[in-house]
Structure 1
Amino acid sequence: MVLEGQKIRKAQRNLYTFLVSKMLTSLGFGVFNFGISLYILSATGSALSFATNIMFNVLPRALAAPLAGYVADRFPKKRIVVMSMAGITLSVAALIVYTLIFGMSVPAIYTITTIFSIIGAFNGVAFSSSIPNLVGKERLQKALSFNQVSYSIGGIGGPAIGGMMFGFVSMKVFLISMMIAYFIALCLEATMDFELFEVRVKKKQESVTQSMKEGFRYLRTKPFVQTLLMTTLWINFFSSAVSVGLVFVLVQKLSIPSSQVGFIEGAGAMGMLIASLYLSLHNDLKNPLTFVRRSSFSMCGMLAFISLPLFLAFNGFYSFIFYMAVMFLFSALSVGANTPMGVVIQRSIDDEYRGRVFGIIETLSVGMGPIGSLIFGTLFDKVDAKVIFLCAGFVLLMLVAWLLMWSKIRVSEKLAHVSD
């Protein structure tokens, strides 16, 4: 009983250390990313240069993730997390030294972005696949909600702090801020027990290629995990319609001032934050997949509702209030859909395969965003925006209804209750 009590206390300490660490890295990267984005635009005046930096942030991560999954399953996860965090911290320090000697340059930014992307893949996959071992399966909902809280705070605080700093301080201050945040996170992560709930199994001696193939074969034996993964990917794909099309509609179609556009996007971040806090404070959902289905259906409705002011010709003030409410609800519902799905996937994957499975998920998730942005960006130039939002909401509704049929949900939730 004493040992069990100590284990629970360690799990709680891991949980809150995880929260603080993720908040620091999200906030540090948010400030850095905002400063870098403004620097590239002000230095080059080129949207292509800005898009190129986004490519260097996305493509290496997507390509490195399967290898990161193999490494996470093959070697101690704590070592990977700590070494990757140390690598990012040292990379920032190297960029500061380079800046002091040669000055900041766009090629240097592309280089450091690529390094961050590759190292971030190893850190992200190792950390994601470690969460059940850090906190136990009973605290997964709270841990994944805390993860969303940290991203929300980074999304709100990064641009806010970065906006206040830009123009008043040099890029070196942005870099130093990020380095300090990552160094503190590194120290915190070094204190975490990554083996607290680990199920020890004998690791097979196999090549990298064989191990990756084994990860794909294992995923094929989990049809419902595949279904949830497909649901997540489709939700993320159609969410690109919002990230690409909303600003286009607000600025080009409704002539809403840029200051109000910022508030509308901020409402989305607040929606994510409040929904994440709700799930972190709430007991584990008894029927998580039913919750996912309802949240996903409601998201489809919000996606279609974006077109409403385009049909009814709202005035500026009513459009502003309407879109703040829609973005708040859409973002909150996305957390309501994605977080319980993440909990179910984490609980369904055996420990020895979790790294490789999350490496596959990372590649697909990271890759889906740019693909969605490219497709919807092209569509918004050629097709009426209200038609796109209506069709996107309807198609996503059909896909979710098919993927999350009641029969599948009932069977899976019965199996979950039996296993508990």
Structure 2
Amino acid sequence: MAQEIKQSYRQMVILILSGMICVLGVSIYSFGISFFILSTTGSAKLFSFNLAIGVIGRIMATPVSGYLADHYNRKKVLVYAIFAEALVVSLLLLYIHFLGFHIIALYITTFLVSYISSVSSPSMLSAMPNIVHEDHLQKTMGYNSTATSLSMLLGPVAGGLMYAIVSKEVFILCFITAYIIAGIMMMSLNFNLFKKAESTVQNNSENVMQSFKFGIRYIWHHPILRTLIILFMSLNFFMSCVNIGMSKIIIGHYKASSQMMGILEASFSVGILVGGLIIGSQKKFQSPFPILKGGLIVNSVCIMIISIPLFIFDKLWVVYYTFMIIGFIVGISGQYVNTPVMLYFQESIEENVRGRIFSVIFLISQLLMPISYVIFGIIFDFGYYAITFFVCGAISLLLVLSAMNKRFSLKVNQQT
């Protein structure tokens, strides 16, 4: 057992480092491309279309992703997906080098990368309890968030400094290099170290659509899962206003520099880093739901607070520092949302069906996001900043309080 614990720590470190390297490459790439779109076109619509296309890619990957996670070797799915993403972005690099930058080429790349990434996501989440010991799951998720947030912190800062002195090709090359390194590291992991023998039972005659329908039925007949998924779907719609609004206001409205935008985005990552360190050092949660509810309430209130300086002031420094402080707080509270809910999913869902369930969870929770990105892109182009943040925050708060009420707590107690 002592040897297995030692191996668990080793695998935890490799898992965290590989994720950190991937996120660093993605954050540098995303910052450079996003800033280029907004600074060149000034259009929140074009920026929001890129985000919406990414979500559409993730949604379309859902039926396949769960099937692959539960019916095929999860390690191979992950490794092939990582190298496939690197290949797709390499093709974008060649296109830009020989033919020049075109936003349609970027949109196609965004779709393909998000599709491939989403195909492998349930495999990673489903396999995690098999890679590290159950006593290390919370630590792995907490420290993994800390490591990836450090990359998210360094990525925009590095991107902001690089933007003025390097070409777009360098941003793309960062993505490719990071994914190749991460893929090699992922190949060294043992995905069966803590796998239970009974978890290998599968329905091999099941096709992709039957697999997807199974996941929907499973969630629908699980009252707690059903409530959580509908809640997150609704919250993602309204909270996505921050993704569009912050960039549009700071870059499009105030014409801030790339360095300022990089530091602003980094404040969110600092919050995630701090929250991940706190969660990683804490004892295992007795019940995830009070912590989850508190985190969601804080997030909702923060969105409402963003509207205050926009209602009263029209000065960059006031709005800028408000975004920075709120981003830091949301980064911390977000850890108290993501970690408890993911731990609950991994511990309450059977291992041999976990991939199918995760794929449906991803689909439903993101179902309305492409629509929200387009809607908020249009709204912010008309300049309705303050009222949009206030209304979205207020609605999010009401959704949390109405969904996670006494009746919900009673269902949780009955299950446990």
Both proteins in one fold, TM over 0.5: yes
Indicate conservation of the 8 Å contact 1:302/1:330, yes or no: yes
Per-residue deviation, 1:22: 0.7
Q: Give the % identical residues.
A: 29
Tell me which of 8, 27, 31 is aligned to 2:28.
31
Secondary structure of 1:191's counterpart equals coil
In the alignment, the residues of structure 2 paired with residue 177 and residue 348 of structure 1 have an alpha-carbon distance, to the nearest angstrom, of 38
Equivalenced residues, count: 412
Tell me which of 67, 70, 88 is aligned to 1:70.
67
In the alignment, the residues of structure 2 paired with residue 114 and residue 79 of structure 1 have an alpha-carbon distance, to the nearest angstrom, of 22
Supply the AA of the counterpart residue of 1:180. Answer: T
Give the CA RMSD over aligned residues: 3.2
Secondary structure of 1:217's counterpart equals helix
Residue ranges of structure 1 left out of the alignment (5+ in a row): none
TM-score (norm. length: structure 2): 0.86
Per-residue deviation, 1:121: 1.6
In the alignment, the residues of structure 2 paired with residue 161 and residue 110 of structure 1 have an alpha-carbon distance, to the nearest angstrom, of 24
Counterpart position of 1:222 = 222
Counterpart position of 2:309 = 309
Indicate conservation of the 8 Å contact 2:48/2:244, yes or no: no
Secondary structure of 2:200's counterpart equals coil
In the alignment, the residues of structure 2 paired with residue 44 and residue 330 of structure 1 have an alpha-carbon distance, to the nearest angstrom, of 29
Alpha-carbon spacing, 1:106–1:319, altered in 2? closer, same or farther (3 Å): closer
Alpha-carbon spacing, 1:153–1:206, altered in 2? closer, same or farther (3 Å): same
Per-residue deviation, 1:44: 7.2
Alpha-carbon spacing, 1:208–1:319, altered in 2? closer, same or farther (3 Å): closer
Alpha-carbon spacing, 1:358–1:27, altered in 2? closer, same or farther (3 Å): same
In the alignment, the residues of structure 2 paired with residue 38 and residue 381 of structure 1 have an alpha-carbon distance, to the nearest angstrom, of 16
Per-residue deviation, 1:342: 1.6
Per-residue deviation, 1:328: 1.8
In the alignment, the residues of structure 2 paired with residue 158 and residue 170 of structure 1 have an alpha-carbon distance, to the nearest angstrom, of 16
Counterpart position of 2:117 = 120
Supply the AA of the counterpart residue of 2:404. Answer: L
TM-score (norm. length: structure 1): 0.85
Alpha-carbon spacing, 1:414–1:357, altered in 2? closer, same or farther (3 Å): same
Counterpart position of 2:236 = 236
Per-residue deviation, 1:321: 4.2
In the alignment, the residues of structure 2 paired with residue 372 and residue 365 of structure 1 have an alpha-carbon distance, to the nearest angstrom, of 13
Tell me whether 1:189 sits opposite 2:186 in the alignment. Answer: yes
How does 1:75-114 map onto structure 2 within 5 Å? 75-97=72-94, 105-114=102-111
How does 1:9-408 map onto structure 2 within 5 Å? 9-38=6-35, 50-97=47-94, 105-199=102-196, 200-204=199-203, 205-246=205-246, 263-310=263-310, 313=313, 320-380=320-380, 385-408=385-408
Supply the AA of the counterpart residue of 1:202. Answer: V
In the alignment, the residues of structure 2 paired with residue 58 and residue 100 of structure 1 have an alpha-carbon distance, to the nearest angstrom, of 27
Alpha-carbon spacing, 1:306–1:168, altered in 2? closer, same or farther (3 Å): closer
Indicate conservation of the 8 Å contact 1:29/1:178, yes or no: yes
Supply the AA of the counterpart residue of 1:119. Answer: I
Secondary structure of 1:361's counterpart equals helix
Per-residue deviation, 1:113: 3.0
In the alignment, the residues of structure 1 paired with residue 164 and residue 392 of structure 2 have an alpha-carbon distance, to the nearest angstrom, of 40
Counterpart position of 1:7 = 4
Per-residue deviation, 1:348: 1.4
In the alignment, the residues of structure 2 paired with residue 60 and residue 400 of structure 1 have an alpha-carbon distance, to the nearest angstrom, of 28
Indicate conservation of the 8 Å contact 1:289/1:413, yes or no: no
